[in-house]
Structure 1
Amino acid sequence: MRKPLLVTEFLDRARRHYADQEAVLATDGTRYTYDELGARADGFAAALQQRGIEHQDRVAVLDPNTHYHLEAAYGIFQVGGVHTPLNYRLTPDDYQYILSDAGVDAIYADYDYADKIEQVRDEVPTETFITNDPDAVGGDWESFDDIIDGVGADDYTTPEMEEDEICTINYTSGTTGDPKGVCRTHRCETIHAYLTSHHQNISDDDVYLWTLPMFHANGWGHIFAITGNGGKHVCTRGVDAAGIFEAVREEDVSYMCAAPTVLNMLLDHYAENDVTTVGDNDVRCATAGSAPPEATIRTLEDEFGWYMMHVYGLTETGPLITTSNARRTFDDDSSDRFSIKKRQGLGFLGTEVRVVDEDGNDVSRGDDEIGEVVVKGNQVMEKYWNKPEATHEAFNDRIEGYFHTGDLATIDEHGMISIQDRKKDLIISGGENISSIEVEDALYDHPEVSEAAVIPAPSDKYGETVKAFVVPMNGNPDDPGVTEDDLKGFTKEQLASYKRVRRVEFVSELPTTATGKVQKYELREQEWGDEDRMVGQG
């Protein structure tokens, strides 16, 4: 028989089987069972429907990792809405573009970030504005807790939904132009959660610590996988090393995901403090983005006593499509395992991951040829929102029918990939995607900048950081008429904080081809020197 794959089933299952079990530890210390979490999601669903939200309407969520995000997301799903999570580090202009592009009808925004929405309120199509603390927000905002009070499952109707309809739109920073809305269906979100549950060994006794932003591809699908398995969510407002270790000890955390920058925070805190790194449960930790150095994995496993897994993917691909958690390829007691765990790894079940050359042919196994990573799988996105040309290119560039990641890699004899470089000049700093072109555009707005080229530079803290090579307007790099701090401050005013320029080098000219195109690879080679890869590794 065929049963539709709908994301509403994850909370439904948890309510059926784990109603009295603890579901969430909120950031204020409140604890909710799955029955209570479900009732709050019901209340939000009813409130949305009362405010005119209909099947397939877009509803945005701007929230750090709190219980409100989980409740809002499932409330949206339950009325057939499209969950549109927003990166809380963006600027008001970014939000204006996204809310308008997606045609968002309603938004829930945490009190710490609602003011950014208030600034563009009159410029967006959104009509319903909800927050968790209206007294802390300027403007006319409704209270989340007030609107769900007294309403529940009997006060809304779930429409008939199909597994192939859109249920989430996640906006990703593009390498050119405006951000793109990644459209994902009930089916691909569900299958991705199944795959993540298997490859990350998720079970009902897991205690999951939210160090990974929920807005990042729906928290890498963990808003579904943890919930559906009946695990416990430990929520956070931001990330700090001491708080992570405290939560691990006090709540017996068994599983978390952490960007390389978070791992570095933990290592620094551990080196400077007498820290107990585990509670009653063993801890496993997944990381993605730039490959962590072997020394990092060694410390986390041999000293922290954690089990590390390296995963890989993009917002468009689920995100997760590969894992280094391939136990038959390494010995747990051998130091050789660290070189395996640095790799992005093997494809998930049902996922075809290939590395192909310019003609779409597979490169040879043995790590001696570089090609682009392409993928085919049920967890891959449906399309880009309102961008048919970009969608077609993404699935048909080198080879028809595969999503083209833009990442360049080698592949070994086991089929484990290892990212070597990026086809497009995307900077991944602390787990955040940064478009070099967007930063360059900001620099070109400065009157003392004649030319600029932005590349990723190595960073011990973030893996990669933003560096700009700048030709000053007066042509004199020794007396450029503007300082490095001036340009850093200028980009900080123009861009989201994590996108700003961190390093500046003034030059008399940029390396270019005969046709005038800047040869960024020369700048990267200069910057990365003897590093194994021109991708930040911490």
Structure 2
Amino acid sequence: MQKPLLVTDFLDRARDYYGDHEAVVATTGDRFTYDELGERADRFSAALQSRGIDKGDRVAVLDPNTHYHLEAAYGIMQLGAIHTPLNYRLTPDDFEYILDDAGVDAIYADHEYAENIEAVRDEVPTETFVTNDPDAVDGDWAGFDDLLAAADTDYDRPEMDEDDVITINYTSGTTGDPKGVMRTHRCETLHAYLTTIHQDISDDDVYLWTLPMFHVNGWGHIFSITGMGAKHVCTRGIDAEWIFDTVATEDVSYLCGAPTVLNMLSDYYHDTDVPTSGDNDVRIATAGSAPPEATIRTVEDEFGWYLTHVYGATETGPLVTTSDARRFFDDDSADRFAVKKRQGLGFLGTEVRVVDEDGEDVPRDDETIGEVVVRGNQVMEGYWEKPEATEEAFNERAEGYYHMGDLATVDENGMIAIQDRKKDIIISGGENISSIELEDTLFEHPAVSDVAVIPAPSEKWGEEPKAFVVPESGDPNEPGVTAEELIEFTRDHLARFKTIKRVEFVVSLPTTATGKVQKYELRSKEWEDEDRMIGEG
């Protein structure tokens, strides 16, 4: 038989089996069971429906990781309306573009961010404005809790099809205007199933929301954690002290964090030697650029946490690969770090290939570089109202595959290892240089806390590697190491043509809300006096 795959099933299941169990630890100090979470979502559904929101309408959510985001998301999706989460780091102009592009009919915005919506209110098609603290917001905003108090729990849930679009997640727009990634009930559901399997999510998990819920629906964890009946621990922003304290006091068993978050935790731990767990064993998933081996060693050997390296993109759900292939490493062997640095093997039902410019698979020699392309049930339906961009994304090298824009090698086991973004590969004097390899080498130096390597203009070579280094000392004026020493350090560990040519010490690196380093910002500043942002290398 065939049963439609619907995202509403996740909360329905949790209410059915775990109704009186704790579902959410709120940032307000409140705690909600799944029955209570479900009732609040029902009331929000009823409140939206009474204001004319129907199936297919777009409703935006602008919120840090609070219980309101969970309630709003399910309240929206129970109507068959399209959940459109927004990055709270964006500017009013960004919000104006997205709200107009998606034709958003209603928005819930946290009181700390609502002013950025109020600033463009008259320029967007949105008619219903809701916040969690209307007294803290200028303009005419309805109160979320006031709406729930006035609403009944009854609403009309429409008939939905698994191929209906149910979420639109906007890309960061680093190479142009943001694009709305359309995701159906089917691809959201299957991605949540895959995440549940590959991340070992169970009903007794306590999940700490260090990953933004807006980011591809929190990597699908708003679905998987809920559907399994596990516990959500919400946040309004993170710092290392708070994370360690919450992990210990709430007995957290699972969290996610980009490599920059891992570095932040490592630095704090070495300075304070705090407890790293409560009653539960802890596991952490990381993604983005490969974490350095030194960071993985700290997390596993000193924190006592189990680390899994995963990989993907907004367009792919996001997760498509995992390094957690335990037949290829021993938990007690240092060899595991080399495996965990890799992006790894494709998820179940996911075809991950590395192809050359002709769309042919590169050999499994761990040397030949090609582009990662993906096909799977968790991959997006396409870009919202951008058919040409959709066509290009799926057919540039290999027809019918989403093209990730990442360059990788494949080893004999089929495990991929990202070498660079296509746009970030450094071509110096005709040689291809991996910025990731350089960053990983510099991370091994004890005076380096964080680092990003980009191509910088060079009269002789066209472009050459430059490192932006956050020193362990925290003071760029007294970094505890010289640029010349770091250059020599890379020369001692890598082929001579790969060595860093320039170093700039900085207080911090520009990052996205998920902690991913925004290299394009560094590149833009470095190349602002040039005619183009690429060298003739």
Structure 1 length as normaliser, TM-score? 0.83
Q: Name the Cα RMSD after superposition.
A: 2.5
Counterpart in the other structure of 1:49: 49
Question: Residue type of the partner of 1:16?
Answer: D
Query: Cα offset for 1:349?
Result: 0.1
| Superposed CA offset, 1:43-82 (max 9, x none) | 1100100111011000000000000000000000001100
Deviation (angstroms), 1:424? 3.1
Residues 524 and 533 in structure 2, CA contact (< 8 A), matched pair in contact too: no
- The residue that corresponds to 2:493 in the other structure is none
The whole-number CA distance in structure 2 between the counterparts of 1:23 and 1:426 is: 44
> 1:272 aligns to what?
271
Q: CA deviation at 1:504?
A: 8.6
Q: 2:312 maps to what in 1?
A: 313
Once residues 508 and 350 of structure 1 are traced to their aligned partners in structure 2, the CA distance between those partners, rounded to angstroms, is 44
Task: Specify the alignment match of 2:393 in structure 1.
Answer: 394
Per-residue CA deviations over 1:310-340 (Å, capped at 9, x if unaligned) read 0000000010000001111100010000000
Residue of structure 1 equivalent to 2:11? 11
- The 3-state SS of whatever aligns with 2:27 is coil
Residues 134 and 467 from structure 1, CA distance in 2 versus in 1: closer, same or farther, beyond 3 angstroms? farther
Gaps of 5+ in 1: 428-454, 472-487, 511-515, 523-538
Q: Provide the residue aligned with 1:147 in structure 2.
A: 147
Separation in 2 of the partners of 1:53 and 1:312?
35
Give 2:418's aligned residue: 419
SS state at 2:53 partner: coil
Q: Which runs of 4+ in 1 moved over 4 A?
A: 455-463, 465-471, 497-510
Cα 1:377–1:92 change in 2 (3 A) is same
Give distance in 2, aligned partners of 1:171 and 1:508. Answer: 27
**What is the CA distance between 1:259 and its match in structure 2?**
1.1
Percent identity between matched residues is 71
- Provide the C-alpha distance between the structure 1 equivalents of 2:250 and 2:34, rounded to a whole number of angstroms: 17
Per-residue CA shift, 1:457-506, capped at 9, x if unaligned?
959666548898699xxxxxxxxxxxxxxxx9xxx9xxxx9969569977
Counterparts of 2:156 and 2:68 in 1: how far apart (Å)? Answer: 21
Which position in structure 2 is the counterpart of 1:76? 76
Compared CA separation, residues 467 and 42, structure 1 to 2 (3 A): farther
**Is residue 181 of structure 2 the alignment partner of residue 187 of structure 1?**
no
Task: Give distance in 1, aligned partners of 2:282 and 2:164.
Answer: 36
CA distance, structure 2, for counterparts of residue 126 and residue 261 of structure 1: 36
Aligned equivalents of 1:112 and 1:467: distance in 2?
A: 37
Q: CA deviation at 1:177?
A: 2.1
Question: One-letter code of the match for 1:519?
Answer: I
Q: Is the 8 A contact 2:527 2:533 kept in 1?
A: no
Secondary structure of 1:191's aligned partner: helix
Instruction: Say if 1:194 and 1:463 are closer, same or farther in 2 by CA, change over 3 A.
Output: farther
For residues 198-218 of structure 1, what are the alpha-carbon distances to aligned partners after superposition, in whole Å with 9 as ceiling and x for unaligned?
Answer: 000000000000000001100
Check 1:465–1:246 CA distance in 2 against 1; reply closer, same or farther (3 A cut). Answer: farther
Does the alignment pair 1:128 with 2:128?
yes
Deviations 1:373-402 (A, max 9, x none): 000000000010000000001111101110
Number of the residue aligned with 1:281: 280
Compared CA separation, residues 239 and 392, structure 1 to 2 (3 A): same
Deviation, 1:507, is 8.2
Instruction: Tell me which amino acid in the other structure corresponds to 2:79.
Output: V
Contact 1:39/1:152 (8 A) holds in 2: no
Distance 1:10 1:139, change over 3 A: same
- Whole-Å separation in 1 of the counterparts to 2:355 and 2:171: 24
SS of 2:407 mapped into structure 1? strand
Change in Cα spacing, 1:466 to 1:125, as seen in structure 2 (3 Å) is: farther
- Given that residues 131 and 141 in structure 2 are in contact (C-alpha distance below 8 angstroms), is that contact kept between their aligned partners in structure 1? yes
AA matched with 1:237: R
> Residues 111 and 133 of structure 2 are in contact (CA less than 8 Å); yes or no, is this contact kept in structure 1?
yes
Structure 2 gaps of 5+ residues are 427-434, 460-505
SS of the residue 1:149 aligns to: helix
SS in 2 for 1:372: strand
User: 1:519 aligns to what?
Assistant: 534
Q: Which residue of 1 aligns with 2:117?
A: 117
Q: Is the 8 A contact 1:207 1:253 kept in 2?
A: yes
Q: Shift in Å at residue 142 of structure 1?
A: 0.4
Aligned counterpart, 1:242? 241
Q: Tell me how far 1:368 sits from its aligned partner.
A: 1.5
Aligned to 2:322: 323
SS in structure 2 at match of 1:46: helix
- The C-alpha deviation readout for 1:71-109, integer Å capped at 9, x for no partner, is 000000001100000000000000000000000000000
Q: Distance in 2 between matches of 1:215 and 1:508?
A: 32
Deviation at 1:153, TM superposition (A): 3.1
Cα distance, 1:265 vs. partner? 1.1
Name the stretch that deviates more: 126-135 or 262-271.
262-271
Which residue identity lines up with residue 340 of structure 1 in the other structure?
Answer: V
**AA of the residue aligned to 1:231:** A
| Closer/same/farther in 2, CA of residues 18 and 463 from structure 1, 3 Å limit | farther
Equivalent in the alignment of 1:65: 65
**SS of equivalent to 1:393:** helix
Q: Report the Cα offset of residue 282 of structure 1.
A: 0.2
Q: Which residue of 2 aligns with 1:443?
A: none
Aligned counterparts, 1:306-455, within 5 A: 306-425=305-424
Counterpart AA for 2:138: G
CA separation of 1:231/1:521 partners in 2, compared to 1, >3 Å: closer, same or farther?
A: farther
Distance of aligned partners of 1:366 and 1:26 in 2 relative to their CA distance in 1, 3 Å threshold: same
Deviation at 1:518, TM superposition (A): 4.7
Q: Is the 8 A contact 1:170 1:182 kept in 2?
A: yes
Query: Within 2, Cα distance between the matches of 1:424 and 1:509?
Result: 19
- Which residue number in structure 2 is paired with residue 303 of structure 1? 302
Contact 1:108 1:130 in 2 (8 A): yes
How far apart are 1:262 and its partner, in Å?
A: 1.1
The one-letter code sitting in structure 1 at the alignment partner of 2:359 is: G
Measured after TM superposition, the shift of residue 180 of structure 1 is 0.3
Structure 1 residues 37 and 463, CA, compared in 2 at 3 Å: closer, same or farther? farther
Q: Distance in 2 between matches of 1:41 and 1:465?
A: 45
In 2, Cα distance between equivalents of 1:426 and 1:181: 27
Distance 1:240 1:426 in 2: 32
Report the counterpart of residue 99 of structure 1 in structure 2: 99
Kindly state the Cα deviation for residue 508 of structure 1 after the two structures are TM-superposed: 11
8 Å CA contact retained: 1:118, 1:139: yes
SS in 1 for 2:36: helix
Q: CA separation of 1:80/1:462 partners in 2, compared to 1, >3 Å: closer, same or farther? A: farther
Letter in 2 for 1:80: G
Give the 5 Å matches for 1:215-230.
Answer: 215-230=214-229
Equivalent residue, structure 2, for 1:474: none
1:261, distance to aligned residue in structure 2 (A): 1.4
My pick for the range that moved more, 460-469 or 182-191, is 460-469
Could you give the per-residue CA deviations for residues 113-165 of structure 1, whole angstroms, max 9, x where no partner exists?
A: 000000000000000000000011111100000001143432x1011000001
Say how many residue pairs are matched.
Answer: 466
8 Å CA contact 2:208–2:234 kept in 1: the answer is yes
